[in-house]
Amino acid sequence: MGFRSYQAAAAACLSVAACGPSPGPRPGSVVIDASAGPVNVFTPDQSLGAALDGMPAGQVERLYTTHNVRAMKGAGLRPVSYSLRTELAIDAWHWSEEGVWSDPAHRQGYWTSSDRPRRPVLTGWGYSLPRRGDSVDQADDDGYSRLDDGDPATFWKSNPYLDSRYTHAPARPQWVIVAFARSEAISAARLQWAQPFARRYEVQYWRGDDPYDDAGRWLDFPGGAITHGRGGDVVLRLSPAPVEAQYIRILLEVSSNTAPSGSKDPRDGMGYAIGEVGLGVLGPGGRFVDAIRHAAEGPEQTPIYVSSTDPWHRASDRDPDAEQPGFDRIYASGLTSGLPMMVPVGPLYDTPENAAAEIRFLQRRGYPVRQVEIGEEPDGQNITPEDFAALYMQFAAAVRGADGAVSVGGPSLQDAVSDTWLDPAPDHSWTRRFIAALDARGRGADLGFFSFEHYPFDALCGPLDRKLLAESEAMRLDMARLRADGVPLTIPWVVTEYGFSAFSGRGEVELPGALFNADMIAHFLSLGGRATYLLGYGPEELFEPEQACAGYGELMLFGEDEAGQALWPTPSYWATTLLATEWVLPGDLPHELYRASVDIPGDGSRGSVVAYPLKRPDGRWAILLINRDPAHAHAIQVAVIQRAKGPARSLAGPFEVIQYGARQYAWHAAGPAGRPARNDPPRRFTLPGGPVVLPPYSLTIVRTAPQGSAVGARS
């Protein structure tokens, strides 16, 4: 059955006779406490959204077809956020291919896309950075560090925008960290400097149980403190006897501020540059014996991590596997539904000038923008929160200089709980230190909203119902941690990407994935969150999992045919439509979300059933009920406490019920060729009153009858 056929079938299950519930066990109860008022008020047009992202080569045109856009919009999600895959790939972003180079004669340098392009902006590209220092990245991971690539003509260079001439603050040290697979005996270093070199630096080793040890510290090698560096190719005797260490850091403290011969760009002389790094021992005759593996492929190198990277690049550096959908393509497709899109700028590997040009372009096109997100998983890129804050403030100033009406925010953390790595500072909270760095400069108001991603499980192996139950407590703890980290309660908190896991797994295309998505959205909103954006909006293929026990799967609303077109909906699609078109009243009117307690006989403290009651602007109660028990049905009776210390009174029927579970969906596992064995739309029926039966692993929405004809009426 094709996707359109599924849409047509969605109206077929309307009568009690065809789809009514079967008798259930002794009822439990859901008690809505309306006496203290709602725990949150939100509008669907701001709160229930989808995330668009970059993708590998050739995928932009394959995704943004009329057929796929129609299917995606059918899910009912209206607001859109835009994620920058280029930031994860350590690429500069050409959001338009028309623009100017800082060195136009050689088509290289620092790029600024044109805010007045002559052609439609249909596709943007990432450009690999030839001064890259990291061995690994968070995208395709097909790059490599120039610090141990074995090529004397290449070099790593730190980001010039961290120089005090841009930050207007004292320069902070930069660093290079070598991460051996296990402890190595180190007593010497070979450093082949480029321009600018470090006049003062220290070579250090880590003492700690692991990279996150609260008591861990960096110790100087006895001969590792250099106060009068002169660049060149130097071999340092770090210690009379080898020191066993797994992590080695070169801490760069004072720059020479020298640029290569013939340079005309002042940024060439800002920061630090190193051609090649060696660590090892001095053998017979003083010969340096290197423990680092040098190769021009990341997996073959000894892993190296750096504090920042220069966004300088060349026209020849375009990354064919880093496509970004162009702004004209997105807005023309209709996916934004005429609403403001949350747009990104890339602070780690881009320039403030390019960010300002992006905002001016959107203004001139007349595209609505309310929020600009600065950052894309900076904590996962190992930048210090203080350095990120220095870049964030520059980009915030550039964006607001181009359009003072937009709200800027970020930093799109890779997880709500983010701690620093290989860091001896007493405070390891990345978030708290980032906010403190803004406040210290009097720039706390630049954080207009706070964003993070939420992928709670690395592996989808084992009993998935236990993960579904664990997620509730995990989200509660995450939100408590953010409050403790000082995230202002007066600004919106936003989940700009979410999914069951950041890795592939069969659970993502089965009922657990749908239950997770629905629970995550409603739970986050009930804890005070403002908006959620689902990743996996379009069709996808099934991917091989990192761990075989997880099975083939992917975050997606649709399976795809050979041409990449939406073929069949996943449970996540049906769950999304239930929330976006049935639980809420679509539009921009406020919805009141209330707290509810659930008591299920025999369930104890397990918490198999959760309830999220809404008072909609049409005056109706709409209660989202999620049964996370894979084996047992549960019957519930819904009651409401209207006044403090008042009795709980059962909601009066009739009830309109929309339900989705195993009766509608079953999966046929066949590796990459897996597909649904049964895939029916949610069933609908009416009940005159009384308990509602929740099948195992199911989503149920119970709605009361309309309370008057006027929108906004209250019972």
| Residue among 631, 633, 670 at smallest CA distance from 509 | 670
What's the CATH fold of domain 1-37+594-715?
Immunoglobulin-like (2.60.40)
Residues 504, 544: contact at Cβ < 8 Å? yes
Measured between alpha carbons, how far is 640 from 624 in angstroms, rounded to an integer? Answer: 15
Measured between alpha carbons, how far is 610 from 442 in angstroms, rounded to an integer? Answer: 42
pLDDT per residue as tens digits for the range 415-465: 999 999 999 999 999 999 999 999 999 999 999 999 999 999 999 999 999
Measured between alpha carbons, how far is 112 from 311 in angstroms, rounded to an integer? Answer: 12
Q: Which of 21-30, 155-164, 510-519 has the lowest mean pLDDT?
A: 21-30
Listed in sequence order, the residues at least 6 apart from 148 whose beta carbon sits closer than 8 Å to its beta carbon are 135, 276, 277, 292, 293, 294, 295, 301, 302, 304
Output the average pLDDT for the chain. Answer: 94
- What's the pLDDT band for 602 if we cut at 50, 70, 90? confident
Measured between alpha carbons, how far is 672 from 58 in angstroms, rounded to an integer? Answer: 21
pLDDT per residue as tens digits for the range 201-210: 999 999 999 9
Measured between alpha carbons, how far is 468 from 470 in angstroms, rounded to an integer? Answer: 5
Residues 65, 673: contact at Cβ < 8 Å? no
Question: Does residue 687 surpass a pLDDT of 70?
Answer: yes
- What's the pLDDT band for 643 if we cut at 50, 70, 90? confident
pLDDT at 657: 98
pLDDT per residue as tens digits for the range 96-129: 999 999 999 999 999 999 999 999 999 999 999 9
pLDDT per residue as tens digits for the range 250-267: 999 999 999 999 999 999
Superfamily of domain 156-310: Galactose-binding domain-like (2.60.120.260)
pLDDT per residue as tens digits for the range 570-587: 999 999 999 999 999 999
Q: Distance from first CA to last CA of the chain, Å, rounded?
A: 42
Two structure tokens written together for 131:
């001064």
Measured between alpha carbons, how far is 180 from 303 in angstroms, rounded to an integer? Answer: 7
pLDDT at 4: 46
pLDDT at 27: 86
Two structure tokens written together for 715:
């019972």
Question: Does residue 162 surpass a pLDDT of 90?
Answer: yes
**H helix count then E strand count, the chain:** 14, 41
Mean of pLDDT values over 44-60: 95
- What's the pLDDT band for 26 if we cut at 50, 70, 90? low
User: What CATH code is assigned to 42-86+341-588?
Assistant: 3.20.20.80
Cis omega (within 30 of 0) for bond into 352: no
* Domain locations in the chain as residue ranges: 1-37+594-715, 42-86+341-588, 156-310
The pair phi, psi for residue 508, each rounded to 5°, is -70, -25
- What's the pLDDT band for 665 if we cut at 50, 70, 90? very high
The strand pairing partners of 493, in sequence order, are 450
| Residue among 242, 250, 252 at smallest CA distance from 183 | 242
Question: Does residue 664 surpass a pLDDT of 60?
Answer: yes
